[in-house]
Amino acid sequence: MTQSSNNGRQLRLPDFVAVGPGRTGTTWLHEVLKGRVDLPAGIKETDFFTTNYHKGIQWYAHHFRDADGGRPIGEVNPYFGFPEAAERIALHIPRCKIICTFRNPVERIYSAYKLWRHYTLTNFPLDEFLVKVPQVIEVTRYARHLPDWRARFGQDRVLVLLNDDLRADPQAYLDRVCDFIGIARYPVPALAAQGKLINSITDLPRFPHLARKARHFMYWLEEKQLYGMINFLERAGLWKFTFGGGPKFSSLDQATEARLHDLMRPEFDALEPMIGRDLSMWKRPQADCSPAAPRADAIQGK
């Protein structure tokens, strides 16, 4: 999509943004779209419409400098739950298509907590963490924020997908995305079908102090846009070594799970008529639900 800036220069900006929230299969979607659409050069998430907005629209457009207009441009970035992001995307790309990926809120909240622990962003127990970082719950309030996206972009330009459908039938899930963004359908790549292209979180860092230093180094590389170095270190196994190898995460205890279900139940009830889906599978404790399909943990990005 071409947009004009204030100085008359033509900018290449996304035709669609998959806004998440995070821990709902966004990494899977980014990976399977590679090579089929034009994504940000060198990085998955620019965070432009949230933390990096002060850098200006030219900075953002530079990430799509390699796009030649021959295929859709997109970004997969968890902007859902941030009203300022919806407002800014509507300002700069008013005809943008939006993809929302929703996952069982209780699972998503716990997965987000594990991500924070994995990257040494917190050491608090879950209950205390959710008090100190309320945004984790806020971005999981799908029924609260979905109407704003629909109002800004139009209901026909906002696609709602459920992680349950991804687990049950990855190909049908991808087909819906292809139809929505306007590209030909194609088979789910083998590694993605096997759940091997997923940002799964299973363990804590073996050396927390080293992990904190590595995280700050990663942030510094991102600030300098040294994405190639970040990706090289990932391929070399540095990030996996630094941020993993420690104790494994346990399953969410039943008492905490029950409290989160009670907290999020109004969201379940409000979302059902909003998207026309039966969400009864979200309303039962996870222990009561039979697995939807093999590789569920991987596809969910636990």
pLDDT of residue 297: 40
Which amino acid belongs to residue 163? N
Share of the chain above pLDDT 90, in %: 73
Q: What is the mean pLDDT of residues 251-260?
A: 92
Which amino acid belongs to residue 98? I
Question: What is the pLDDT confidence band of residue 293, given thresholds at 50, 70 and 90?
Answer: very low
* CA 55/CA 207 separation, integer angstroms: 34
**What are the φ/ψ torsions at residue 160 (nearest 5 degrees)?**
-105, 125
* Backbone region of residue 143 per phi and psi (left: phi > 0; alpha: psi in -120 to 50; beta: other values): alpha
Cβ burial, residue 91 (10 Å; 0-12/13-18/19+): exposed
pLDDT of residue 160: 98
Q: What is the mean pLDDT of residues 254-275?
A: 94
Overall pTM > 0.85: yes
Who has greater pLDDT, 240 or 137? 137
pLDDT of residue 7: 40
Q: What is the mean pLDDT of residues 106-133?
A: 94
Partners of 159 in the β-ladder? 99
- Domains belonging to the chain, first-starting first, are 2-202+249-300 (3.40.50.300)
Question: What is the pLDDT confidence band of residue 294, given thresholds at 50, 70 and 90?
Answer: very low
The 3-state DSSP class for residue 289 equals coil
pLDDT of residue 301: 53
Tokens 């924020």 belong to which residue? 145
Who has greater pLDDT, 162 or 211? 162
Question: What is the pLDDT confidence band of residue 68, given thresholds at 50, 70 and 90?
Answer: confident
* CA 71/CA 238 separation, integer angstroms: 34
pLDDT of residue 103: 96
Parallel, antiparallel, or unpaired for β 16-20 and 74-76?
A: parallel
How many C-beta atoms lie closer than 10 Å to residue 268's C-beta?
19
Who has greater pLDDT, 198 or 250? 250
pLDDT of residue 6: 36
* CA 229/CA 244 separation, integer angstroms: 20
Mean pLDDT of the chain: 89
- Per residue in 183-234, pLDDT (tens digit) is 999 999 987 876 655 667 888 999 889 989 999 999 899 888 888 999 899 8
Indicate the helix (H) or strand (E) that contains 33: helix 26-33
pLDDT of residue 194: 67
Mention every residue, 6+ apart, whose C-beta is less than 8 A from residue 236. none
pLDDT of residue 5: 37
Q: What is the mean pLDDT of residues 266-285?
A: 93
| CA 160-289-299 angle, 5° bins | 50
Least confident of 1-10, 51-60, 225-234, 250-259: 1-10
pLDDT of residue 154: 98
Which among 75, 64, 62, 73 is positioned nearest to 17, based on CA atoms?
75
* CA 286/CA 252 separation, integer angstroms: 9
pLDDT of residue 11: 83
Q: What is the mean pLDDT of residues 59-63?
A: 96
Respond yes or no on whether the N-terminal peptide bond of residue 21 is cis (omega within 30° of 0): yes
Who has greater pLDDT, 301 or 281? 281
Q: Which of 68-72, 184-188, 223-227, 293-297 has the highest mean pLDDT?
A: 184-188
